[in-house]
Amino acid sequence: MRLVVRAADVLQAERLIPIRAAHVDSCLYHGQATLDFVDRMVDGGAAVRVPTTLNVGAVDLLHPELWRGDPDLAERGRLLMERYRALGCRPTYTCAPYQLAESRPGPGDQVAWGESNAIVFANSVLGARTNRYGDFLDIAAAVVGLVPDAGLHRTEERRAQLVIRLGEDVPPALMDDDGLYPVLGIVVGRVAGGRVAALDGLPPGVSEDRLKALGAAAASSGAVALLHVIGSTPEAPTLAAALQDADPDEERTVDMATLRAVRAELGGDGEGRIVAVSLGTPHASAAELTRIAELLDGERVADEVELLISTARDTLAQVEASAVAERLRLAGAELLVDTCSYIAPILRAPHGPVMTDSGKWAYYAPGNIGAQVVLGSLAECVASAVAGHVVRDATWGTA
């Protein structure tokens, strides 16, 4: 309760409001301090008061043999993940709880979510209301069932302050390619910082998986917690709705030159040999796993390439029931759950070059695991995994 009250003080909130659910990011091991904290909670007899899902932890509890690092560190990571179950949290261990039917909040639901990509998805795509809950506060809010009435919990704070427009030189074919969304997300994050932004110029009805890639990238390069995508997200049927009929504080245009420069910075011009392909950051949806199986189309991953796909254990169970998981394994893919390949020592050759379809992975993996990253669309990644070297399609052109 002290932590929740401290948060209310920081946010200058006048009251606390009840939440319906929480998503807790605190179960990822970041050193002894994270264990010391949960021990203090468990020893004090704390338990969650609302349905609470858990974010990724340090280890794949279902496939512990995939861990290639210090066994002592794995044990500490595992212990932390288990300790959060003792508080009554559900062992979902996913960064994409919004892909689990039973833990998707609805429009207007007040929740306390951690994990930057989940936060931006909950607010933007689901229309639920959460601030950026950090480690410790997420579990504190779940235990007391209350959050400060501030920020994105309040309707007026959800107004887009900034309008970001796609330039007229961005071709429709690119908007219909998965490869645009992580790059655009990194640009949006840099422009928006911590502001609520409205993104205008995409065709209506952008798919959830593309919105996931866009938001995850935006929440990596900026403190983005809510991104209205005009024509695609529930509070933005029109630009005027996203602006709550007010004028924006600022308007910016993103042109092809900017997109190309950022794409190059993320390794989007990378060519040649690769040693691994990492997909599923944020965790792959059942639809994405099915698409990867279709793109592989019975071909096998090249011998010298490791194809690693991260997903949620519940999603894996879902695709085990269909033939998708088996098709992926027969093609040589490794399926990782409960964690992610850029926070845990999983990859055989983490320094790469590693190809990914994720802006978030491309953004963090160089610092976290020392990876040299090549960014591509999902289709390019799968084709490259089979070929053993980078395969590009013509979507971005050669200019």
Partner 1 sequence: MNGRLIAPGQARAPALVLEEPLSLWGGLDPATGRVIELRHPQHGATVSGRVLVLPAARGSSSSASVLAEAVRAGTAPAAIVLGEPDLILALGAAVADELYGVQIPILVLPADDLAAIRDGATVDIGSEGVSAV
Q: Is 131 in the site for partner 1 (CB under 8 A)?
A: yes
Instruction: Give start and end residues of each alpha helix (H) in 201-248.
Output: 208-221, 239-242
**Dihedral pair phi/psi, residue 380, rounded to 5°:** -65, -40
- Termini Cα distance of the chain: 56
Nearer residue to partner 1 within complex by CB, 79 or 223: 223
Among 57, 215, 352, 366, binds partner 1 (CB under 8 A): 366
Q: What is the CA radius of gyration of the chain?
A: 21
- Three-class SS state of 148: strand
Among 3, 17, 62, 73, binds partner 1 (CB under 8 A): 3
In the complex, least distance from residue 7 CB atom to partner 1, rounded to whole angstroms: 6
> Scanning residues 98 to 127, which ones bind partner 1 (CB under 8 A)?
114-116, 119
Q: Is 132 in the site for partner 1 (CB under 8 A)?
A: yes
Total Cβ atoms within 10 A of residue 383: 20
CA–CA distance from 200 to each of 11, 170, 296, 299 (Å)? Answer: 30, 12, 34, 39
Residue type, 99: Q
Nearer residue to partner 1 within complex by CB, 132 or 263: 132
Q: Is 136 in the site for partner 1 (CB under 8 A)?
A: yes
Residue type, 310: S
Q: Is 220 in the site for partner 1 (CB under 8 A)?
A: yes
In the complex, least distance from residue 279 CB atom to partner 1, rounded to whole angstroms: 20
Sign of CA dihedral 94, 98, 102, 105: positive
Nearer residue to partner 1 within complex by CB, 223 or 387: 223
Among 44, 272, 298, 367, binds partner 1 (CB under 8 A): 367
> Scanning residues 291 to 350, which ones bind partner 1 (CB under 8 A)?
none
For the chain, give the number of residues: 399
> Which distant-in-sequence residues (6+ apart) come within 8 Å of 397 by Cβ?
none
Nearer residue to partner 1 within complex by CB, 25 or 334: 25
Nearer residue to partner 1 within complex by CB, 137 or 331: 137
In the complex, least distance from residue 135 CB atom to partner 1, rounded to whole angstroms: 4
In the complex, least distance from residue 372 CB atom to partner 1, rounded to whole angstroms: 11
Q: Report the alpha-carbon distance of residue 275 to residue 241 in Å, rounded.
A: 46
In the complex, least distance from residue 304 CB atom to partner 1, rounded to whole angstroms: 26
Beta bridge partners of 277: 307, 355
Nearer residue to partner 1 within complex by CB, 35 or 174: 35
Nearer residue to partner 1 within complex by CB, 53 or 318: 53
Is it true that the peptide bond before 353 is cis, omega within 30 degrees of 0? yes
Q: Which residues bind partner 1 (CB under 8 A)?
A: 2-3, 6-7, 9-11, 25-26, 28, 30-34, 36-37, 40, 114-116, 119, 131-138, 189, 193-194, 219-223, 265, 364, 366-368
